[in-house]
Amino acid sequence: MATLRLGDTAPDFEQDSSKGVIRFHEYLGDSWGVLFSHPADFTPVCTTELGYTSKLAQEFAKRNVKVLALSVDPVDSHQSWIGDINETQGCVVDFPILADADRKVATLYDMIHPNASATATVRSVFVIDPAKKVRLTITYPASTGRNFDEILRVIDSLQLTDNYSVATPVNWKDGDDVIIVPALQDPDVLKEKFPKGYTAVRPYLRTTPQPNKP
């Protein structure tokens, strides 16, 4: 399987999980999705990641995002591990963890990097939009825990820039000023789209208040 690229359709699959059988595209429905993999159950870094993700449940829900984790261990192992996660992280894991024992999903999404590990998945992250297109891919080594605040930040940027003719600058966070895309030059269109005005630092670099904020 070739590496998935941005804009590709996220492969559909059917796989068992801690919440029963998941049919991926059906599970996502009209929502955005975050699919992220873990090297194995009962591993310390993964335990902290899943705990923190569960604490972000309301943040993901606000953005119409469904979360789906994956590990190559079976369902009964997942269920035992979830008990540990809930107890040690002070949370309730309420999203599915795929039981990818046959590596079907890991293979579809190129989550096993043989030069890193021949059997365990690396820490892959895929953000998928309601049209089932891959919008973000991030790959971390097994030893490094992911920054899920950053994943939420990227989703905020994607959802904003899908609806307005803007891009988000370095270290942008929801509520900060944004950048008008260079292709937009007509003064009348600029006035209509950005009634709060804008600052032209350079002809190609124009900042404006985030358009979907009061």
Identify the active-site residue in 35, 46, 91, 178. 46
Please give the Cα distance from 69 to 53 (Å, whole number).
10
Q: How far apart are CA 157 and CA 141, in angstroms?
A: 25
Active site residue 46: yes
Task: Give CB contacts under 8 A, 24+ apart, made by 162-171.
Answer: 162/129, 163/212, 164/193, 164/211, 164/212, 165/193, 166/208, 166/210, 166/211, 169/207
* DSSP run (H or E) holding 125: strand 123-128
Alpha carbon distance 162, 173 (integer Å): 16
Which residues are designated catalytic? 46
